[in-house]
Structure 1
């Protein structure tokens, strides 16, 4: 049975190769290939090419493993390991040339994520973690920021591609703005979670995440001393709430009070 460190080493090599592919393809221009949940939820041919590369590399190295990718690739696991992959987290940023998008790969044993890597395609930063092994940025250990009063917390968030959910989220953010230092929307959930893990923010809340958005970044955050929780959001979808463990409960209360969650 492969160890988490062995799974991470494979994931890291494949994520970097996929990031190189995304970078090279971006130089030649980008066109939207299709839409998914709404007209604003786009996918490009580069998303498909990166996912195909990742799936091929992982299953060549470990042919009995399962695979779940954002762009639809799926294989059932015979080994107990399933790879959960977002080939480009932040596709809209990628389309517009906004330098905030990442490759995210996680290894899940049963229901537990045991290794994860998020590579910032533009900056080249590589965030990694194994279950029980801590979180790292380019090989250096990272930790969440110390807990500060709610009014001094910088919060990351994101918005759904579906109009009704987005409107509900906007109303909740309006309420939250009066209680915290400020709110940022950067456009990549995986990087938001990693930035929180290394102290670049104090909290995170977003409705509508899928497993591939959360798997690697969530593990990295937990291993850096963060806590990740979920509930049903105001729009009826899965809402992820995250913060340093010591400040999680206070932030969750604020999230509830501001209307992020279903009543």
Structure 2
């Protein structure tokens, strides 16, 4: 990028007041989607289909996606449930997971989330992760800190990996489980314990507020856009493992750093380097 392009990009970025307004819209929309999801839960959360033959989709996923698209009408949206395979990250973009934790939802577990992030040229400027059944709403604006239900949150500071509880998860496609088993082996033999909520955005937000000390998993842009910003604004560190390490995929093309979930790692600063070294060794 040339100096002129860099100055133009900065000039085109929305100011803090504008970004705060976008966050307000995202929060209202996420909470409304959460109410709709709760209504579908009361009716049983019926499955609608399996994407790719193995990833569940419920009627609530699709209804939440429709509600969010209506609320953000006229804006460009990248959504897990209704976007094409061709992604364009230039300019303003809303990155959406209308229902994170579908397998949980379909079995009446409570770890379910709605994620909405606002990005410009691939840089996430605001994000919300709302957990409708837990009555918790995580938010962040870039440079403005992270909050849970309006109160500031801060990542933990464990003494080392041996005193750390780490979240992880697994893809729906289990055609090659050996790298996943190796990741779990390394975590179990070097950390205090592991957890899995099955809603990655919540695991990342729980790292932001100290309920977990880290989370690592191979994820998609809608999993990490809002939650990743929240974690970083809470003082956590985030990054990605080298392709080919246990639990990562070989990626085709390049994702903006804020939207890259391949080999995703987020952790308390005191253990980040050690965790990355553990998973990359």
TM-score, normalised by the number of residues in structure 1 = 0.90
Residue 130 (structure 2) aligned to one of 119, 123, 126: 119
Distance 1:172 1:135, change over 3 A: same
* Structure 2: distance between partners of 1:202 and 1:94: 25
Asked if 1 retains the 8 angstrom alpha-carbon contact of 2:247 and 2:263, the reply is no
Q: Report the CA distance between 1:236 and its aligned residue.
A: 5.0
Q: Report the CA distance between 1:142 and its aligned residue.
A: 0.3
Q: Report the CA distance between 1:35 and its aligned residue.
A: 1.3
Residue 234 (structure 1) aligned to one of 230, 236, 246: 246
Asked if 2 retains the 8 angstrom alpha-carbon contact of 1:34 and 1:42, the reply is yes
TM-score, normalised by the number of residues in structure 2 = 0.84
- 1:11 and 2:55 equivalent? no
The residue matched to 1:68 in structure 2 has which SS?
strand
Q: What residue in structure 1 maps to residue 40 of structure 2?
A: 25
Asked if 1 retains the 8 angstrom alpha-carbon contact of 2:186 and 2:278, the reply is no
Asked if 2 retains the 8 angstrom alpha-carbon contact of 1:158 and 1:189, the reply is yes
Q: Which one is further off, 184-193 or 24-33?
A: 24-33
Asked if 2 retains the 8 angstrom alpha-carbon contact of 1:153 and 1:180, the reply is yes
- 1:185 and 2:200 equivalent? no
Distance 1:36 1:79, change over 3 A: closer
* Structure 2: distance between partners of 1:146 and 1:235: 25
Residue 280 (structure 2) aligned to one of 253, 256, 261: 256
Residue 171 (structure 1) aligned to one of 182, 187, 195: 182
- 1:133 and 2:133 equivalent? no
Distance 1:210 1:78, change over 3 A: closer
Q: What residue in structure 2 maps to residue 55 of structure 1?
A: 69
Q: Report the CA distance between 1:183 and its aligned residue.
A: 0.5
Q: CA RMSD in A?
A: 2.0
State the Cα deviation string for residues 132-165 of structure 1 (Å, max 9, x = none).
Answer: 0000000000000113211000000001111134
Asked if 2 retains the 8 angstrom alpha-carbon contact of 1:4 and 1:130, the reply is yes
The residue matched to 2:155 in structure 1 has which SS?
coil
Q: Which one is further off, 237-246 or 196-205?
A: 237-246
Distance 1:151 1:160, change over 3 A: same
Q: Report the CA distance between 1:166 and its aligned residue.
A: 3.7
State the Cα deviation string for residues 48-96 of structure 1 (Å, max 9, x = none).
Answer: 110010011012xxx2x21011002469989932110001100000001
Asked if 2 retains the 8 angstrom alpha-carbon contact of 1:230 and 1:240, the reply is yes
Asked if 2 retains the 8 angstrom alpha-carbon contact of 1:67 and 1:77, the reply is no
| Structure number with higher strand proportion | 1
Alignment of 1:42-121 (within 5 A): 42-59=56-73, 63=74, 65-73=75-83, 80-121=91-132
Q: Which one is further off, 173-182 or 186-195?
A: 173-182
Residue 244 (structure 1) aligned to one of 248, 268, 279: 268
Q: Report the CA distance between 1:250 and its aligned residue.
A: 1.0
Residue 212 (structure 1) aligned to one of 206, 219, 222: 222
* Structure 1: distance between partners of 2:140 and 2:178: 35
Q: Which one is further off, 131-140 or 237-246?
A: 237-246
* Structure 2: distance between partners of 1:144 and 1:229: 15
Asked if 2 retains the 8 angstrom alpha-carbon contact of 1:119 and 1:127, the reply is yes
Structure 1 residue runs of 5 or longer lacking an equivalent are 258-263
